[in-house]
Amino acid sequence: MNGKALNANMLYYLFDSTNMHRWNDHLRTLDLSEMDKQAHKTAIAWVLGKCEEDAGAAIDWHRLIEHNLFSFIQRIALTDLKPQVFHRIEEEKADDVSRYVLCEFDRSVPHTDEGFRKRFEEYLYSDRSSKEDAVIRAAHYLATKWEFDTIYEVNRSVYGIEDTKKEIDGQIGQHSDLAGVRDLMTKRSDLDNFIDIVGQLRFQQRWARTPRIPKTTVLGHSLLVADMVYLNDCDCGVEGEQVYNDFYTALFHDLPEVLTKDVITPVKTSVSGLPDLLEGIEHEMMEKRIMPLIPAGWREELRFMAYDPFSDSDLPRRNGKEIKACDWLAAWMEAHISICYGVSSKSLRDGKVDIGRKLTAVGGYGETIDAFDIIADFEKMEI
């Protein structure tokens, strides 16, 4: 049966990656989840794609966004295999792995858009030789290296750690034909620092001071919102630059919080004038600390994405209301799923009710993504 690409089963399938823990056979200085790794990879792929454009290459951003999501879906299906095992199985049993991944996807997401599912199947059986696929692979290894660097010092005594280091460096080196990879390999650059500061959003927990399972981070939340927006754009037949603007605005909508932390809504709404003051401080700090890290030609675009992400725009085209609806829906999911897992609190229950009201209000933002139906399906789902 044909359905919509944006649906409750798809969202829970993606969200469940927060329960996949990376490097869990090593000492870790922070929890490293698959959701956060995929979010960081997605931001790095944007950096590498922009570098390729600056070097004169053409990037199909729609393909990059969708193939990035497809690679995420594939990784979830293969759970938490060690990378060496994952890549060897991919190489030696490619068709068998593809059949298994597709079967797992169909089981977990039984009703989705037929076009989306067909493109996913084509992706699985393709050779993934496009420029966009190369960018995604390179971003994957760079995100892995960032994670590895956070745990390296406390694992110096672990047998084989130096071999792991050499292997990761070698994998990155295989993508030195990409302009951004060459830049990142040859020196500690401003782009290195930008990638690092985006990664710091993996340190920041959502729903501060509220017990929850699973704990989610600002960066992982941002990817979930971005993927929701993309899936909704698929359902609505959105094409062209709006796909790019909607997706990357959603991905970077919380970037200023790396400089101010995630101030919880009750605090923002209780102090008169605080939201405007915080916004001014965020923009000032972004200009001083983040904008100098990226090429001048990218800065206006990042301002557009990060400074006023929930406003509609015609030039360039963007649907900010849908992005806000997806932001609320992701927050609702974080509360609802924790409550289903058995970890709850008054603030979490109240938050779920309040966000749910906003999403299901007649004529509200939630109507743009059919939030009423998605919430109803979540309520019926066995979690």
How large a percentage of the chain has pLDDT more than 90?
84
Mean pLDDT of the chain: 93
Is 14 a member of any domain? Answer: yes
Name the pTM for this structure. Answer: 0.94
What per-residue confidence (pLDDT) applies to 277?
76
Assigned domain for 142 exists: yes
Q: How would residue 308 be classed by pLDDT, with cut points 50, 70 and 90?
A: very high
Q: Kindly report which listed range (79-93, 154-168, 319-333) carries the lowest average pLDDT score.
A: 79-93
Beta bridge partners of 205: 217
Determine the pLDDT at residue 85: 73
Task: Tell whether 234 is covered by a domain.
Answer: yes
Q: Answer whether residue 1 is part of any domain.
A: no
132 and 63 in contact (C-beta within 8 Å)? yes
Instruction: Report residue 77 as tokens.
Output: 């299906």
Mean pLDDT of 264-280: 64
Does 165 reside within a domain?
yes
State which residues form the domain around 209: 6-377
Tell me what pLDDT residue 83 has.
64
Is pLDDT above 60 for 269? Answer: no
pLDDT tier, 319 (very low <50, low <70, confident <90, very high otherwise): very high
Asked if residues 17 and 205 have their Cβ atoms less than 8 Å apart, the reply is no
CB atoms within 10 A of CB 131: 17
Is 261's pLDDT higher than 90?
Answer: no
- Amino acid 81: pLDDT: 67
Contacts 24+ apart (CB under 8 A), 169-176: 169/145, 171/141, 171/144, 172/138, 172/141, 172/142, 172/145, 175/134, 175/137, 175/138, 175/141
Q: State the Cα–Cα distance between residues 84 and 96, nearest whole angstrom.
A: 18
Q: Is the confidence at residue 273, as pLDDT, over 70?
A: no
* Residue 37 to residue 85: CA distance in whole angstroms: 18
- State the pLDDT at residue 59: 98
CA distance 322 to 225: 10
- In 3D space, the residue among 65, 34, 50, 47 whose CA is nearest the CA of residue 133 turns out to be 65
Specify the pLDDT at position 341: 97
pLDDT score for 253: 97
- Kind plus residue range of the DSSP H or E element containing 1: none
pLDDT at 281: 86
Q: Express each pLDDT in 13-59 by its tens digit.
A: 999 999 999 998 899 988 899 999 999 999 999 999 999 999 999 99
3-class DSSP assignment, residue 21: strand
Classify residue 383: in a domain, yes or no: no
In the DSSP assignment, the letter for residue 318 is E
Q: For residue range 140-193, list pLDDT tens digits in order.
A: 999 999 999 999 999 999 999 999 999 999 999 999 999 999 999 877 789 999
The confidence score (pLDDT) of residue 74 equals: 94
pLDDT at position 266 over 60: no
At residue 323, the pLDDT reads 98
284: number of Cβ within 10 Å: 12
Q: Confidence band (pLDDT; 50, 70, 90) for 262?
A: low
Instruction: Give me the number of domains the chain comprises.
Output: 1
For residue 363, being part of any structural domain is answered with yes
> How high is the pLDDT of residue 29?
84
Share of the chain above pLDDT 70, in %: 95
Instruction: Tell me whether residue 382 is in a domain.
Output: no
Binning pLDDT at 50, 70 and 90, where does residue 70 land? very high
Q: Is the pLDDT of residue 378 over 80?
A: yes
Question: Measuring CA to CA, which residue among 285, 232, 228 is closest to residue 255?
Answer: 285
State the pLDDT at residue 87: 72
CB within 8 Å of 151: residues ≥ 6 apart: 23, 26, 27, 28, 29, 32
Q: What is the CATH number of the domain that holds 124?
A: 1.10.3210.10
Task: Name residue, tokens 């359902």.
Answer: 235
